[in-house]
Amino acid sequence: AITVDPSARGAAIDDTMYGVFFEDINRAADGGLYAELVQNRSFEYSTADNGAYTPLTSWTAGGTAQVVNDSGRLNARNRNYLSLGAGSSVTNAGYNTGIRVEQGKKYDFSVWARAESGSTLTVSLKDTAGSLATARRIAVEGGWTKYKATFTATRTSNRGRLAVATAHDAALDEVSLFPRDTYKNQPNGLRKDLAEKIAALQPGFVRFPGGCLVNTGSMEDYSEASGWQRRRSYQWKDTVGPVEERATNANFWGYNQSYGLGYYEYFRFSEDIGAMPLPVVPALVTGCGQNKATEDDALLQRHVQDTLDLIEFANGPATSKWGKVRAAMGHPKPFHLTHIGVGNEENLPREFFARFEKFRAAIKAKYPGITVISNSGPDDAGAIFDTAWQLNREGGVDMVDEHYYNSPDWFLRHNDRYDSYDRTGPKVFLGEYASQGNAWRNGLAEAAFMTGLERNADVVKLASYAPLLANEDYVQWRPDMIWFNNRASWNSANYEVQKLFMTNVGDRVIPSKATTTPDVSGPITGAVGLSTWATSAAYDDVKVTSADGSTLLSDDFSGGAAQWRHSGAGDWSVQDGQYVQTDTAAENTMVTAGDPAWRDYDLRVKATKKSGK
């Protein structure tokens, strides 16, 4: 039975309470929300991004085609270009089954080309059944120049290929094909169906760009002087300005990121959907499987300054140094940034907090109105979590970002999680959470849990399900909220739950009491997607079994592991149907998701909680 007292007043609920968390995982950006149809458009794919890559990944060449990295390049940040001999051609295969075109729709092609002695490029769209649009001829002469052409598709195809042939010697770079029809018709825009699905949630905020993407690699150099080392974390200055000058980089999740969807586009998208932009910057302490904190004060100061510059980029007048960059990109008016996250899931709470304080002091000195968000580490409980919260409380932090992925049972059992949180301490930003699965049962458990978030809306100020997007052919992490391939997108049950809450945000909680609630005690069991954490502080052991009951992985923490994680990239792989641990030294072990066979496994995880936790 549920008893409601309509005259009682509970917590006020902010309009921004429910938002989305966008991270470029599962090809959420290139091959996903970013509408570019050409894969590896600037020939920058490299083994530094993924062992299987070459600069011609997704391209096939006919005749003499060679990727060149020399001083004849387009610009210093776009290192490779393609040299094509007379009568040669290249063909791009796009993502998934190919380039998707729809009959009657327009597609904008562009290319940077150089042909000192002059040439004619023939650009065509086709699939195995033949032409998909009238071919275009482009006369090219002289040094690097941007050329454009438009196609109107004469047929619909999911298997399109874009081919560029040259009559005489020519060099090409930044070969691009965009649907004319992007979200809100923005240039360098977003794929409409995906953006519309996100917009339909009416998110209160957009947290971006990650995730593990943010902090891992934050100590790496990434400059011309260093030879453009890859694997630097996602840093905003790398991602703004003309797209052909955004040096592509290795993505934490094992592929190349073009940064075509960069900070300007994130801010613009947030504005387009009426959501508060909420960027996260690296704190110079790594999490996500690494334990490292920078001791390089100059580097730390550079990042602090970058963060101040980011706020100026978002909010400064068009006459300010970074406001001018924003204005030049097409947005003279400010983006109204009010919240910023520093760091993500750091495993070293003390080291993190010491560095966080430097960011916070500098931000508050210059922009006292900005809410600076700290975090509680990678887990929902345990020693790291407790220390992080203690530091955040004692340090008078505005807001703390908590993350957890757990079984549906866990979510049902923890509806009361925030009932006992200190009302005078930092507010909570639940920046990432999901129960392990995309089944209806998962959505239901999340809905039940969200009633607890809402009941505690005086403490829990912001909440976002994670991850948001997954391209079904490039999955690193399950479950995910919205799924897609090159031609379609579909919502999960979890999406429908989020939408229900997000499009019906109340003003105030009316307190209620429920009796005869179901008994959800017992060990944590449940089908896993690609994510769950267990720490030796909270659990005695964890076990992953296949549907037939055979054990694939188990850990009783006797080896001293502090954390066990079933997710992400890197340390585990699937070989001949067995999980193989490839990095036994890792304190933070992971199961890889890159193997397409992954989805064929119906796994169960069982973790035994320590008593009292």
Ranges within 246-305 binding ligand AHR (CB under 6 A) = none
Q: How many residues contact ligand AHR, by CB under 6 A?
A: 12
Task: Find the binder of ligand AHR among 13, 17, 20, 25 (CB under 6 A).
Answer: 25
CA dist., res. 371 & res. 428, Å (int): 12
Closest by CA position to 534, among listed 380, 428, 330: 380
Q: What are residue 373's DSSP bridge partners?
A: 341, 399
Q: Is 224 a catalytic residue?
A: no
Q: Which is nearer to ligand AHR, 174 or 432 (CB)?
A: 432
CA dist., res. 251 & res. 386, Å (int): 31
475 belongs to the binding site for ligand AHR (CB under 6 A)? no
Q: Which is nearer to ligand AHR, 100 or 403 (CB)?
A: 403
206 belongs to the binding site for ligand AHR (CB under 6 A)? no
Residue nearest ligand AHR (C-beta atom): 211
**Shortest distance (Å) from residue 114 CB to ligand AHR:** 39
Q: Which is nearer to ligand AHR, 219 or 466 (CB)?
A: 466
**Shortest distance (Å) from residue 344 CB to ligand AHR:** 5
Residue 412 in contact with residue 521, Cβ under 8 Å?
no
**Shortest distance (Å) from residue 211 CB to ligand AHR:** 3
Q: Which is nearer to ligand AHR, 179 or 341 (CB)?
A: 341
23 belongs to the binding site for ligand AHR (CB under 6 A)? yes
Helix residue ranges, H only, 456-573: 493-502
Q: What are residue 563's DSSP bridge partners?
A: 535, 588
CA dist., res. 88 & res. 56, Å (int): 15
Q: Which is nearer to ligand AHR, 432 or 454 (CB)?
A: 432
159 belongs to the binding site for ligand AHR (CB under 6 A)? no
Task: Find the binder of ligand AHR among 28, 212, 314, 561 (CB under 6 A).
Answer: 212
Task: Map residues 421-440 to x or -, x wherever contact with ligand AHR holds by CB under 6 A.
Answer: -----------x--------
314 belongs to the binding site for ligand AHR (CB under 6 A)? no
Pairing of strands 170-179, 136-152: unpaired
Task: Find the binder of ligand AHR among 210, 260, 349, 479 (CB under 6 A).
Answer: 210
467 belongs to the binding site for ligand AHR (CB under 6 A)? yes
Q: Look at the block and give the residue holding tokens 């992953």.
A: 544
Q: Which is nearer to ligand AHR, 38 or 542 (CB)?
A: 542
Alpha-carbon separation of residue 250 from 9, 230, 324, 365 (angstroms): 50, 6, 28, 34
Catalytic residue, chosen from 174, 244, 271, 345, is: 345
Task: Find the binder of ligand AHR among 173, 345, 380, 472 (CB under 6 A).
Answer: 345
**Shortest distance (Å) from residue 431 CB to ligand AHR:** 8
Task: Map residues 380-419 to x or -, x wherever contact with ligand AHR holds by CB under 6 A.
Answer: -----------------------x----------------
Return the half-sphere exposure (C-beta side, CA atoms, 13 A cut-off) of residue 492: 29
Q: Of the ranges 152-160, 207-215, 495-503, 508-516, which one interacts with ligand AHR (CB under 6 A)?
A: 207-215
**Shortest distance (Å) from residue 391 CB to ligand AHR:** 19
Closest by CA position to 578, among listed 588, 569, 565, 591: 591
Report the SS3 class of residue 360: helix
CA dist., res. 215 & res. 285, Å (int): 7
CA dist., res. 202 & res. 207, Å (int): 14
Per the rule left: phi > 0, alpha: psi between -120 and 50, beta: everything else, 297 is alpha
Task: Find the binder of ligand AHR among 315, 344, 492, 532 (CB under 6 A).
Answer: 344
Q: Which is nearer to ligand AHR, 271 or 480 (CB)?
A: 480
Tokens in use for 371?
A: 């809410």
Q: Which is nearer to ligand AHR, 151 or 266 (CB)?
A: 266
Q: Of the ranges 7-15, 94-102, 188-196, 209-217, which one interacts with ligand AHR (CB under 6 A)?
A: 209-217
Asked if omega into 211 is within 30° of 0 (cis), the reply is yes
**Shortest distance (Å) from residue 496 CB to ligand AHR:** 20
Q: Look at the block and give the residue holding tokens 């699939």.
A: 127
Task: Find the binder of ligand AHR among 199, 273, 400, 466 (CB under 6 A).
Answer: 466
**Shortest distance (Å) from residue 569 CB to ligand AHR:** 10
CA dist., res. 173 & res. 153, Å (int): 24
Residue 564 in contact with residue 589, Cβ under 8 Å?
yes
SS (H, E, C) 238-271: HHCCCHHHCCCEEECCCEEECCCCCHHHHHHHHH
Report the SS3 class of residue 610: coil
477 belongs to the binding site for ligand AHR (CB under 6 A)? yes
Helix residue ranges, H only, 456-585: 493-502
Q: Which is nearer to ligand AHR, 144 or 465 (CB)?
A: 465
Alpha-carbon separation of residue 281 from 2, 214, 581 (angstroms): 43, 6, 31
Q: Of the ranges 36-44, 60-68, 210-218, 536-544, which one interacts with ligand AHR (CB under 6 A)?
A: 210-218
Residue 161 in contact with residue 127, Cβ under 8 Å?
yes
Type of residue numbered 402: E
Q: Kindly tell me the burial class for residue 16, based on how many C-beta atoms sit within 10 Å of its own C-beta (0-12, 13-18, 19 or more).
A: middle
Active site residues: 345
Site residues, ligand AHR (CB under 6 A)? 23, 25, 210-212, 344-345, 403, 432, 466-467, 477
